[in-house]
Amino acid sequence: MYIMIDVEALYRKYGPMVFRRCMSLLKNQEKALDAMQDVFVQLLRKREDLQETGPSSLLYRIATNICLNYLRSWKRKPETADDDLLAAIAGYDDPARLAEGKHLLDSIFMGEAEGTRTMAVLHYVDGLTLEETAQQAGLSVSGVRKRLRKLKANSDKLKEAYHNA
């Protein structure tokens, strides 16, 4: 028997944590607030199917996925025509290296499962341990280790190919 979770209580308790997570990934207060709202809207939609065990891990994972989806969406379709120009100006120091790095990252993640990108962010950017990353991803530590090892091997091959080219 499932008990419907109290989304309002979770919002009061975990809202600040979700907002901090969104801010750390999106680097924009307005967009982070929108993402935080989307996290709890998604929770509302699925509340009948969820159990209230480990809500902080669930909310952290949902927030991470929503923010990564936002970033992917903005990359494909900038909000304004000036967004690409602003991004270029922000990295104006060396546009060729910036483009090369972007292409390298796209190549590294090409063909990888969406969850692998999330695990990479959690482990390499946020500094979570393999155990914490596994808990957030809903996988075993060995599963996370295997995916990250494969990702690193692909990354090393691509970096070597770029440097030798």
Q: What is the pLDDT of residues 85-111, one digit of tens each?
A: 344 434 445 666 556 666 666 777 777
| Measured CA angle at 29 (ends 65, 133), to 5 deg | 30
Q: What is the pLDDT of residue 98?
A: 59
SS3 110: coil
pLDDT at 53: 74
Quote the tokens at residue 94. Answer: 């060396």
pTM of the model: 0.52
Tell me the H-state helices in 2-140: 7-26, 29-46, 55-76, 82-90, 95-109, 114-120, 130-137
Give residue 112's pLDDT band: very low, low, confident or very high (50, 70, 90).
confident
Q: What is the mean pLDDT of the chain?
A: 77
Architecture of domain 1-77: Orthogonal Bundle (1.10)
Show the tokens assigned to 24. Answer: 């750390």
Give 135-146 as a DSSP string: HHHTS-HHHHHH
- Taking the alpha carbons at both ends of the chain, their separation in whole angstroms is 60
pLDDT of 111: 74
CB contact set of 121 (below 8 Å; sequence gap of 6+)? 25, 64, 68
State whether residue 1 is helix, strand or coil: coil
The pLDDT value given to residue 36: 94
Q: Which has the closest alpha carbon to 53: 12, 103, 10, 98?
A: 10
For the ranges 5-9, 11-15, 24-28, 62-66, which has the lowest average pLDDT? 5-9
Looking at domain 91-165, its CATH architecture is Orthogonal Bundle (1.10)
Domain boundaries, given as residue ranges, for the chain: 1-77, 91-165
pLDDT at 81: 39
**pLDDT at position 108, please?**
72
Interval 58-93: pLDDT, tens: 899 899 999 988 887 776 655 443 444 344 434 445
